Amino acid sequence: EVELVESGGGLVQPGRSLRLSCTASGFTFGDKAMTWVRQAPGKGLEWVGFIRSKAYGGTTEYAASVKGRFTISRDDSKSIAYLQMNSLKTEDTAVYYCSRSWGMDYWGQGTLVTVSS
Amino acid sequence: DIVMTQTPLSSSVTLGQPASISCRSSQSLVHSDGTTYLSWLHQRPGQPPRLLIYRISDRNSGVPDRISGSGAGTDFTLQISRVEAEDVGVYYCTQATQFPYTFGQGTKLEIK
């Protein structure tokens, strides 16, 4: 059974950093791209970024709103995808979800990030 | 960026009646590989989204056949032939044809 579990969320002050993890199980993690999506309180879904599998270069894509501040990486040996978030802003407050592949066929439960002083 | 526009933004439907949600993209979603990467997601209150439909009309595993997708180019539709209580929540269309991937605003479905 495919499972994705996000962790690492919490309360952080503006300008600080936070790293989220997405631990996967139930499939061959290294074969799949991974996507990060966020949802601000009471709002819709916003695509954050994407990392290809190593077979496709392991390269990344980002939304304009996070480019230069957020970095997605992966450790296929541990089946974990990471979202490193730097220079956090209050508008980054959201539930952050990881999902499998471009098609987002499986989702984690999400982890809440609150950016506030 | 490709803008995804959904209509209506909310809908109240009687149990057993049909429901339909439209999604229009600001440009064609046909990828250079010939595939149209248009998906539909459903999010129940307090839950993460769940993939219903991908590539316009392919149902994800476990999705009942009373839920279907159709369309082409820039105009797409999600149809529920007979609404059940479990269908309440918010529906999103999303495109994965071009980066950045984008979502529609969401359509809230309620039971009348």
SS3 sequence, A46-65? EEEEEECCHHHCCCEEECCC
pLDDT of B78 = 98
Does the beta-carbon distance from A103 to B54 stay under 8 Å?
Answer: yes
In angstroms, the CA A87 to CA B46 distance is 28
Q: Model confidence over A38-63: pLDDT tens digits?
A: 999 999 999 999 999 999 999 999 99
Give residues with Cβ within 8 angstroms of B59, minimum separation 6. Answer: B52, B53, B65, B67, B68
| Residue of chain A whose alpha carbon sits nearest to that of B39 | A103
Please tell me if residue A107 touches chain B, with a CB cutoff of 8 Å. Answer: yes
- Which pLDDT belongs to residue A3? 98
Tell me the pLDDT tens digit for each residue of B54-103: 999 999 999 999 999 999 999 999 999 999 999 999 999 999 999 999 99
Percent of chain B with pLDDT over 90: 100
Residue A86 has pLDDT above 90, yes or no: yes
CB B78 within 8 Å of CB B21: yes
CB A106 within 8 A of CB B48: no
Q: Is any Cβ of chain B less than 8 angstroms from the Cβ of A76?
A: no
Q: Which residues of B touch A51 (CB under 8 A)?
A: none
3-state SS class at B89: strand
Name chain B contacts of A45, Cβ cutoff 8 Å: 41, 43, 49, 92, 94, 103, 106
Which conformational region is residue A14 in: left (phi greater than 0), alpha (psi within -120 to 50 degrees), or beta? beta
Does B46 reach chain A within 8 Å, measured CB to CB? no
Residue B49 has pLDDT above 90, yes or no: yes
pLDDT band at A102 (very low <50, low <70, confident <90, very high): confident
Rounded to a whole number, what is the distance in Å from the CA of A58 to chain B's nearest CA?
A: 16
Q: What mean pLDDT comes out for the span B4-33?
A: 97
Mean pLDDT score of chain A: 97
